[in-house]
Structure 1
Amino acid sequence: MTPGNAEDRRTGAGDHGTAAAARRRATEDRLRAALAARADLLTHRDLRRDAPPQGHGRGVRRLRGAALGVLGLAAAVVAVCLLVLLPGGPQTPAPVVPAGTPGISEPPPPTPTPTGTGTGTVGPSPVDPRVTGRP
């Protein structure tokens, strides 16, 4: 079985010898010849692997990764320091309103003692004990 016959069966042309089938066969033959010629141009040297790259490619990537890690760590430390040490940070207490001056309250009025009971007890002094009469 030849490849041309298989295509004729697929397209339904058969061995009728029509012009369309002949053109298809000629096109296929030309394509096969072109591909075979191109394949003959390749040698084993064209298919060998290239030499591995030389230079600092791996070391530079490793250094760049370490530098980015250190830079990220430094940025995190700076952010924490700014949050903690600047005014208004979580460690700064809120301002407290100053206390007002304490007021002096009046002492309760003295209770009157009944006179003439003869008990001989003296009632509380009408003078405030916190105030002294010394000049």
Structure 2
Amino acid sequence: MIYGIGTDICDIRRIRASLERHGERFACKVLAEGELATWRERSERWPERGVRYLATRFSAKEAFSKAIGLGMRMPMTWRHCEVAKLPTGQPVIVLHGALKEWFESRSLRAHLSVTDESDYAASFCVVEK
């Protein structure tokens, strides 16, 4: 049974501008520890890849927050929601802390799709019970 559906489109130029304005502090606000390490690695080798990585994670977390019906309010936080990937490359949601407890107590399961192209990153999330 579908619990919720969320979608988000993110302007990569807006993420780039936030990074230019706030530096790494912006990435630290949005990304979980594992994501932050990947972002730093990608940004160092090719800055544009780092921007795109951050934009896809931002978009995916927004889509997930809409699918669970909370938006960005507790227990949903940027850093308690992590976007990882399976060995196949499929993106998955990994939850931490109070958000993980909230999600598991409702026996929910998330399915995620992310993409980026030119100036936009987009995500689609379906949560089922």
Q: TM-score interval w.r.t. the shorter chain?
A: under 0.3
TM-score of the two chains, using structure 1 as the length reference: 0.19
Q: Counting strand residues as a fraction of each chain, which structure ranks higher?
A: 2
TM-score of the two chains, using structure 2 as the length reference: 0.19
Q: Which has the higher contact order (CA 8 A, sep 6+)?
A: 2
